[in-house]
Structure 1
Amino acid sequence: MHAAIYDAVNAIDGTHKPYLVRLSASHFASQEAAAAAAAHEVLLKLYPSFQAALDDQLQKALAQLSNAGRADGIQIGNTVADRILALRANDGSNAPPIAYVFGTAAGDYQSTPPNFPKQPQFTHWSRVTPFALEAADQFRPGGPPKLTSDRYADAFDQVKSLGIANSTTATADEALTGSFWNGAIQNYWNEIAQTASLAHNLTTAENARLFALLNLSFADAVIAFYDAKYTYNFWRPVTAIREAATDGNPETEADPNWLPEVTNTTPDPSYPGAHAVISAAGAEVLTSFFRKRHFAFDVTSEVLAGVTRSFTSFPAAAEEATLSRIFAGVHFRFDLTTGQRLGDDVADFVVDNFLTSRDRDD
């Protein structure tokens, strides 16, 4: 959707290179109408059962615009959206998930208590055609540490102590952090981007580019981390802690009843951590776009109604969101440090190579 909005608005604005669709358009066409129409067309084609609600939102958006250039903007938005959808029609996202066979060795990913899902999620996602990356494995990290290593034992002890339900080691703020960020992490970062956009009074064209860069980075970050997750198939902390007697490391001690602070673990392998990947990518895009690291803002939790937290920079929010997964009890520290590098790599590649100024020399 954001790619379509960007190409539609940029066709009118003309200051940056297109993402996929190069279209000649009048500079007098309404950028706002083009953005609204492009978003509506993409969402309608992807979610036709929501047509009534989508049509209502479109009409409300268009009603706020003057007639000047509105019809041309709508036509541009619809045209670009349809072309983007056609180009992505066979990208693999609609393929059925790949049946997963759980391994039996120590370190292998296993279905996690207490709900024990029969299959992990998005087993096919590494096969989805990337939006910007050259391949899903372009920035694939090396594997997790050996189970017998000191690094593994240190990370094991950390999450075992801080991430257990009702931990007596984690502070009240650390426990709150684990719960606060335990939602769809892309949503948090889009909220942060909205806050920054409003504070900086971005134009329609600037907003189109910002949210396209952000969400193209997220889309490819998801493809990249699922490539890594299903390459290494590493067990989650809850399995590792309950089955520590099998890991061959004398420094780890099993707790057969251990459960994480957030109770249920996301049903996919642990390494690398998704929150770390997405948060690093989000902070990198926003820092690059606004050309500043320091910016004061609040974030509202997706899962704790009305709870907000305050930050003074994009990297500070990214670091807290990343470390929250230890306090939530669902990731090892090495999942997160590796995830941060992967997120940085993906975002840097997108920002350096896509939606760049027409004045920039390649």
Structure 2
Amino acid sequence: MKNWIVTCLAIVGLVATSGWAQQTADTDAFERQLFHRAHDALTEVIVADIFSPPVASRIYVYAHAAAYETLVLSQGGPYRSAAGQLPGLTPPPSLTLTGVHPALAATEALLVVGRSLVFSEKRLDDLAEKLWQQVGKQGYATQTITASRTVGRQMASHILAWAAGDQYKQTRSLRRYTPQKKPGAWLPTPPGYMAAVEPYWRRIRPLTLDSAAQYKLVAPPEFATTTDSRFYRSAREVRDVGNQLSPEQRLIANYWDCNPFYLNTQGHMNFASKKLSPGGHWLAIAGQVARQSGADLLKTSTAYFLTAVALFDGFIGCWDDKYRYNVIRPETYINAHIDESWKPVLQTPPFPEYPSGHSVISTASAVVLTHLFGPNRAFTDSTEVPYGLPPRRFTSFHQAAAEAAVSRLYGGIHYREAIENGQKQGQQVGNQVVRKLQLVALPAKK
């Protein structure tokens, strides 16, 4: 009889333990999904508000800094705070963590920071409210949700105070950029002939770089119009490649277009198509790989945050060189000196050509994601499916980055030198992020 009772109790205990484990697994899965959906909600608003790629990177980096710092403060483990590692970022003031659920607090921190940096606050509020309604249906105690959101808002305030010192506000009041009137200098391009984007971005405080010019590139080929010059040959290559694209090359060009403001022109009517920014695409990749690899919430947050830092510093270094060298776009040069009727596959972005921003930030992102997930992490990228393009399969982050880089040649908007040197700068930026921002503590050597 005694043995029978012991056996029954053991079975009951096993069932209870199994049920608890399943409940815990379900909760973890829900919280990871909640976090991804919060990021996606922020991206939706960034796209709707048509932020330029550099400005979008700023929104992302501070939002994910808030989320990451909240999780580290609550959970810790092998992960370390970025406070003291990034300029001006200090530990947050004492926060009451009693009854706080880390995932809920981090989600609130991300959304509150994001709301403070976008234009369409109401739109993000509405998306956030839907997320919190789902949280309420998961059985979390009301006091837990309240305490968690309070801590999230407190962390958001701390991060926003840090963000306020990065010179962004000051650059908003600088005078409008006037294109230089000299041979070889950048000029606005059709169809919109839009003003130069973020000509003063070099003044923004970098996070891991010593300065915007830390990885200053070698000068591009000297401007010339003679047919035997290097500059002319580079431009002719862009024209020739664009005229002979295979269906796969054309698909690659469009897949990595990531133009936040594509201007459609039909007769006298103009209207914009809003799309994901290049940085948004790479953060989407970070999120997809976190899902596909089964990463826990802290590793997921680390992937978003490190990628966002690489994007942010990558744009600062890239934009410094863009306006230093101020190189004419292929479309302008080819129309003036080679073929006046030629048009690129992609719409030329409104800023100088050298180096290729895609090459810089894609390579930098690949470096940090490889650091986190390994060199042979294959993945499927479905980022462009909402824009009518099929998923693409990559064997590694660096393969994806290389394809993103060469897509700018296929698209007709960059010379080869801008692509290859941009990749070099991106490698340097990515290495700097990994070296300077050590979020995951390495095991002690024996």
The whole-number CA distance in structure 2 between the counterparts of 1:339 and 1:360 is: 34
The 5 Å alignment of 1:180-329 reads 180-183=255-258, 184-244=277-337, 254-262=338-346, 264-301=347-384, 304-329=387-412
* 1:33 partnered with 2:104: yes
Aligned equivalent of 1:249: none
Please tell me the residue identity of whatever aligns with 1:268. F
Q: 1:153 and 1:306, CA in 2 relative to 1: closer, same or farther beyond 3 A?
A: closer
In the superposition, relative to structure 1, how do residues 40 and 298 fare at CA in structure 2: closer, same or farther (>3 Å)? closer
Give the whole-Å Cα distance in 1 for the aligned partners of 2:134 and 2:208. Answer: 30
In the aligned structure 2, how far is the partner of 1:65 from the partner of 1:255? 66
Distance in structure 2 (CA, Å) of the matches to 1:134 and 1:302: 38
Residue 46 (structure 1) aligned with residue 130 (structure 2): no
1:244-300: CA deviation from partner (whole Å, max 9, x where unpaired): 3xxxxxxxxx212222112x3100000011111111011111111112334132333
Tell me which of 77, 81, 84 is aligned to 1:18.
81
Which structure carries more relative contact order (alpha carbon 8 Å, separation 6+)? 1
Q: Partner residue of 1:110?
A: 187
Question: Structure 2 length as normaliser, TM-score?
Answer: 0.72
1:6 aligns with 2:68: yes
Contact 1:98 1:123 in 2 (8 A): no
Q: Max radius of gyration: which structure?
A: 2
Percent identity (aligned): 27
Q: Deviations over 1:166-186 (max 9, x none)?
A: x2x111111121122111211
Contact 1:12 1:27 in 2 (8 A): no
1:315-345 Cα distance to aligned partner (Å, 9 max, x none): 1111111111111110011111111111111
Structure 2 gap segments, 5+ residues each:
1-62, 83-88, 259-276
| 8 Å contact kept, 1:272–1:338 | yes
Gapped runs of 5+ residues in structure 1?
A: 245-253
Cα drift, residue 22 of structure 1: 2.3
How many residues matched? Answer: 346
CA contact (8 A) 2:255 2:389 kept: no
Q: What is the distance in 2 between the residues matched to 1:27 and 1:65?
A: 18
Instruction: Give runs of aligned pairs for residues 87-236 of structure 1, distance below 5 A.
Output: 87-94=162-169, 95-96=172-173, 98-117=175-194, 119-148=195-224, 151-163=230-242, 167=243, 169-183=244-258, 184-236=277-329
Q: Please give the root-mean-square deviation of Cα atoms over the aligned residues, in Å.
A: 2.4
Q: Could you tell me which residue of structure 2 aligns to residue 78 of structure 1?
A: 153
Shift of 1:241: 1.2
Aligned to 1:332: 415
More helix by share: 2
Secondary structure of 1:179 counterpart? helix
Instruction: Give the distance between the partners of 1:350 and 1:208, measured in 2 at CA.
Output: 16
